[in-house]
Amino acid sequence: MSSIDYEALAAEARQMFESAADEHELESARVAWIGRKGRITLLLRQIPDLPADERPIAGGTLNALKGELAACLEERLRNLSADESETGADFDITHPGRTPFIGRLHPLTTTLNEIIDVFREMGFDVAEGPEVESEYYNFEALNIPEHHPARGMWDTFWTESPPGMVLRTHTSPVQIRTMEHQEPPVRIIVPGRCYRSDTPDSTHSPVFHQVEGLYVDEGVSMAMLRGALDTFAHRLFGEEVPTRFRPSYFPFTEPSAELDIGCFQCSGKGCRLCKGTGWIEILGAGMVNPDLYGFVGYDPEKVTGYAFGMGVERIAMLRYGIDDIRLFYENDLRFLEQF
């Protein structure tokens, strides 16, 4: 044992610890030198076999070296982890990133935005109003007095406190509110949430969305209404789609009509979607009933106007081929992620 060159041994060990490039190499050095079967450990174990006068020197030198190496190991470990966090050594720039969760617009919002865009290009402004309405704005000012049979067309939610307010059954009250504060010309589009106490099924929901339009000025005609709605139908359902006006009834328009588009599923031959008629109803419209002008102080001898209204859900269902209105409100990502 006296032949052992402690200086050389220590230099070799230090070199291995200090040159370790990472934690893995450092661990190899630990095992090789001061592990259970490491070189220093084995030398320490052989000390009892040495001549008595060499034991203290060997023990002192080897134990000192072992302590030095253990300290060196700890310091190197500290430096390595500091290096990594400083230089980002554990950050692999070639590793594919985690896909961020990106939300998207609800199909109703997308459809509503498209409808608004079409009419905005035609010069309509967007107007909004309260969802909790007075009976006056929701019914009376729209030519639907109490006991008028037309009130039966709407199953209405009434408030208890204060009593007699309604969750608006259509966005039409905003037409009255706008005309009260603005002289003609009025050209507005009114998007918004509406309520009717319908039992939910595949085509009815107690909450739904409407877009209404109103254009009042001198010389506004039914032909202009037809032109505007044709443009709208062609923009949303394609340039080729045929359209037609069909006579109808609404208390606030006279005459009234429904706009149909040719069934895009059967091209007019008749199918389940169009109930065999070849036509699909998409909205109601008409010339503003002159009686309404009395409520807002317009001169019915001077101005005329047209109005129209559509359900956003219905338009979205037709465009995307959705067969159940309830899907819009269930927040099921499997449904929403398709749009």
Interface residues toward Zn ion, by CB under 5 A: 263, 265-266, 271, 273-274
DSSP string, 152-182: GG----B-TTTTTEEE-SSSTHHHHHHHHH-
Nearest approach, Cβ of residue 275 and Zn ion (Å): 8
Task: Identify which of residues 44 and 266 has a Cβ nearer to Zn ion in the complex.
Answer: 266
Phi-psi region for residue 40, left (φ > 0), alpha (ψ -120 to 50) or beta? alpha
Amino acid at site 325:
I
| Cβ-proximal residue to Zn ion, closest one | 263
Q: Please give the helix or strand (H or E) that residue 95 lies within, else none.
A: none
Nearest approach, Cβ of residue 159 and Zn ion (Å): 42
Q: Could you give phi then psi for residue 325, rounded to 5 degrees? A: -65, -25
Does residue 208 contact residue 200 with C-beta atoms inside 8 Å? no
Select from 327, 226, 238 the least CA-distant residue to 283: 226
Strand bridging mode 304-311 / 279-288:
antiparallel
Task: Identify which of residues 56 and 276 has a Cβ nearer to Zn ion in the complex.
Answer: 276
Nearest approach, Cβ of residue 321 and Zn ion (Å): 13
Task: Identify which of residues 195 and 237 has a Cβ nearer to Zn ion in the complex.
Answer: 237
Q: Please give the helix or strand (H or E) that residue 77 lies within, else none.
A: helix 55-87
Nearest approach, Cβ of residue 210 and Zn ion (Å): 25
Nearest approach, Cβ of residue 310 and Zn ion (Å): 19
The shares of helix, strand and coil residues in the chain, as percent rounded to the nearest 5, are 45, 20, 40
Task: Identify which of residues 30 and 314 has a Cβ nearer to Zn ion in the complex.
Answer: 314
Nearest approach, Cβ of residue 118 and Zn ion (Å): 24
Hunting for tokens 């009976």 — which residue is that? Answer: 135
Does residue 258 contact residue 284 with C-beta atoms inside 8 Å? yes
Task: Identify which of residues 104 and 275 has a Cβ nearer to Zn ion in the complex.
Answer: 275
Task: Identify which of residues 212 and 260 has a Cβ nearer to Zn ion in the complex.
Answer: 260
Nearest approach, Cβ of residue 318 and Zn ion (Å): 11
Q: Do you find a cis peptide bond into 162, omega within 30 degrees of 0?
A: yes
Task: Identify which of residues 229 and 263 has a Cβ nearer to Zn ion in the complex.
Answer: 263
Q: Is the dihedral of CA 15, 17, 19, 20 positive or negative?
A: positive
Nearest approach, Cβ of residue 134 and Zn ion (Å): 42
Task: Identify which of residues 179 and 318 has a Cβ nearer to Zn ion in the complex.
Answer: 318
